[in-house]
Amino acid sequence: MQTPADQLYSAEKFRVQSTYLVTLTSLIVLIPFALNNFVQDRYFIGACALAVIAIVALNSFEAHRGNNRPALIVFVLAPCMVTFLLLSLYRQGAVATYWIFPVIISYYCMLDVKSAQILNTVTLLLLLPPIWTTLEPEIATRLTATVIAVSVFSAISTSVSTKYQTALESKVVTDHLTGLLNRTLLNDTLNSAIDQFSRQRTPMTVLLLDLDNFKSINDTDGHEIGDAVLVGVGNIIKESTRISDSCFRLGGEEVLCLLYGADYTNGRNVAERIRSRIDSTDFDTSRSTTASIGVSTLQQDEDWQTWVSRADKKLYQAKKAGKNRIA
């Protein structure tokens, strides 16, 4: 069963799997073609076909290692494929034009939509003039129309799929009420921060925030008002943190913020900014709305459970000391 985390990365996994399939197809189709060209004394075309196979295989290997190398496709593989197409067109005529279609489709399989569209356009600009000079007008017209149609359909299909995937990702990882992240990627995000701290010594700080007496707001003013408070607090948190930071609604009125590159002093300053804004905001409730926040900076050889547990203890200290404060 696919987990939400798996769904989040399915777009990238699709590109990796597509790269594998392109590699497999190249091995099955291009190797016999390359060997046949060597037999027919068309050594340069055969060598180009082998070069395409080698580069596709290298890209597949890099993808398997988790290294996304779009530059390898854009600046190495694509020029080789276009060169291969041009040589085949001049040497073999109309039969070589069939290679154009898998080349165009492979762009959309291995690259993001924008990069694929750019390469698609450049490829057509390079190939259409020799098609019209080497083929009969009737064949060139039909081929041009078909190639353009395949390009447009590939672009539309990939674009729609990408937008759908983006919407799905947003639903999977975002809390529908506050607009903050939900717990789906919390563990992975904290572990990633620990890895970055271990490699580069980048300071990492978490804020653990809890609204004070929130249950009494729900009980007195109703859950609709309580939800409106949560929405407002979520907006304050998003406005008070950076795009690079990650803020998660853990459940109820509790929020955890991971501040990248922030030491304890910076983390405490952000916490104070959030606390003071919540305290000074009129949420249209019968009771004042305040928050207590625990601040914890990652220490050497510390796992995320211990790290967050220290923030939780600090939060408890803030509550015990009178609430509406930072510890």
Residue with the bigger pLDDT between 12 and 72: it is 72
CA distances from 83 to 28, 99, 128 (A): 20, 12, 13
- The DSSP H or E segment spanning 254 is strand 254-260
Query: What pLDDT is stored for residue 170 in this prediction?
Result: 66
Q: What distance lies between CA 128 and its chain's CA centroid?
A: 34
pLDDT recorded at residue 126: 94
Mean per-residue pLDDT of the chain: 89
Average pLDDT over residues 81-106: 88
Beta strands in 104-228 (DSSP E): 204-211
Catalytic residue numbers, as ranges: 253
Q: Are 154 and 264 in contact (CB under 8 A)?
A: no
Among 79, 100, 93, residue whose Cα is nearest residue 134: 93
Of 58, 55, 52, nearest to 37 (Cα)?
Answer: 52
More confident residue, 43 or 266: 266
Least confident range of 18-22, 81-85, 270-274: 18-22
Q: What is the pLDDT of residue 66?
A: 67
Domains plus CATH for the chain? 4-171 (no CATH), 183-320 (3.30.70.270)
Task: Specify the pLDDT at position 287.
Answer: 85
Whole-prediction pTM value? 0.60
At residue 5, the pLDDT reads 44
For residue 169, what pLDDT is reported?
Answer: 66
Share of residues in the chain with pLDDT > 70 (%): 94
